[in-house]
Amino acid sequence: MVLLHIYPEFIAPLFDKYNPLPDGELKTKINELAQSLDFPLQKLYVVEGSKRSAHSNAYMYGFHKNKRIVLFDTLLEDYTPVGRTDQTNSDSTEVPESDREESNSGKGEDVNKTDKDCETKKIGCNTEEVVAVLGHELGHWKFSHMLKNIVIMQGSILFSFFVFGQLMNNKQIFAAFGFIDQQPILIRLYIVFSFIFSPINEIESFLMHILSRRFEFQADEFAVNLGKREKLKSALLKLFKDNLAFPVADWMYSARHYSHPPLLERLRAMDQYKPKQE
Ligand SMILES: [Zn+2]
């Protein structure tokens, strides 16, 4: 619980640079969305994840009335880190003009994400798509998914202590592992948590994946209810493309290994939701 408070505030900034999102259309729209849902948004950051990888994401954190949203710069089509200028802007054949919509409005220049060694390639989502992604994230907040996860985590830790408490004085178990005369407590811990718990962990992680995929569908549905079906779909497609995610997954494999539903399942599910307003 302490780390959950400390990490975003003090530890994460050691590794990456967090800048406040500059004023502009995106900031206005995000604030509008937050206000319309009574989301207590306090701060809005952009993290320069592009230095490290091209993976893009958005997340939020904070407790009670003190919420912050963090956007990866790779999520934003138009974001150029302060102090970094674009090198080439003629070659933007990767994305057709029609795909950009209002992204370049108000700016004379063409802002492309450029990597020194890479050819120019436009990645990220336009304003409406970023807002749709945040609609999904706010769905997680609305349904208290984070709180539920924390409660489950605490329950799981408590359960581990309980099981260890039941087994720690059972000499037979540790004797079976070859510790007959001496059974140091560290060895007992190791045996219980790595051997006795390994099947329990498998089951637990399987159930957690089922739950977290349910949460994802719920958050998608929430965004659809905000009237963001098409924008969220196109944003997900772009993110999958930018992140080089593999779009096809066997259902058994994905049930076992993926915390998020496969893209095609999400898109299909989104088509089925009946929005309350669109
Ligand atoms: Zn999600």
Side-chain half-sphere CA neighbours of 191 within 13 A? 19
| 163-183 pLDDT per residue, tens | 999 999 999 999 999 998 888
Confidence of residue 81 (pLDDT cuts 50, 70, 90): low
pLDDT-wise least confident of 44-53, 140-149, 195-204: 44-53
155 with 113, same domain: the answer is: no
Task: Please report, for residues 62, 64, 132, 210, 246, the alpha-carbon distance to residue 254 in angstroms, rounded to integers and kept in the order given.
Answer: 30, 34, 25, 10, 12
Side-chain half-sphere CA neighbours of 38 within 13 A? 2
Provide the annotated active-site residues: 137, 220
Helix, strand, or coil here: 80?
coil
**112, 88 in Cβ contact below 8 A?**
yes
Annotated binding site for Zn(2+): 136, 140, 216
Ligand 1 centroid from CA 145, angstroms: 9
> In this structure, is residue 136 part of a structural domain?
no
Residue 205 pLDDT > 60: yes
Side-chain half-sphere CA neighbours of 7 within 13 A? 8
Helices 127-142 and 25-36 pack at an angle, to 10 degrees, of 30
Q: What per-residue confidence (pLDDT) applies to 232?
A: 93
The structure tokens listed for 100 are: 């950009």
**28, 128 in Cβ contact below 8 A?**
no
Q: Which amino acid is at 241?
A: K
Ligand 1 centroid from CA 219, angstroms: 6
Residue 233 pLDDT > 80: yes
21 with 55, same domain: the answer is: yes
- Chain-wide mean pLDDT for the chain? 80
**231, 130 in Cβ contact below 8 A?**
no
The structure tokens listed for 46 are: 């952009």
> In this structure, is residue 125 part of a structural domain?
no
CATH number at residue 67: 3.30.2010.10
pLDDT-wise least confident of 7-16, 85-94, 132-141: 85-94
62 with 160, same domain: the answer is: no
Annotated binding site: 136, 140, 216
| Total structural domains within the chain | 2
pLDDT top residue among 97 and 8: 8
> In this structure, is residue 164 part of a structural domain?
yes
pLDDT-wise least confident of 15-19, 20-24, 97-101, 239-243: 97-101
Ligand 1 centroid from CA 137, angstroms: 6
Ligand 1 centroid from CA 259, angstroms: 10
* Alpha carbons 40 and 63: distance in angstroms, whole number: 10
Residue 90 pLDDT > 50: no
* Alpha carbons 228 and 59: distance in angstroms, whole number: 18
| Percent of the chain scoring above 70 in pLDDT | 80
Residue 23 pLDDT > 60: yes
181 with 267, same domain: the answer is: yes
Which residues are CB-contacts of 179 (< 8 A; sequence separation ≥ 6)? 187, 191
| 111-122 pLDDT per residue, tens | 444 444 444 456
165 with 96, same domain: the answer is: no
Please identify which residue in the block is written with the tokens 């060895």: 187
- Show the domain range for 96: 2-120
> In this structure, is residue 278 part of a structural domain?
no
Q: Which amino acid is at 269?
A: A
| 250-272 pLDDT per residue, tens | 888 887 888 888 888 899 999 99
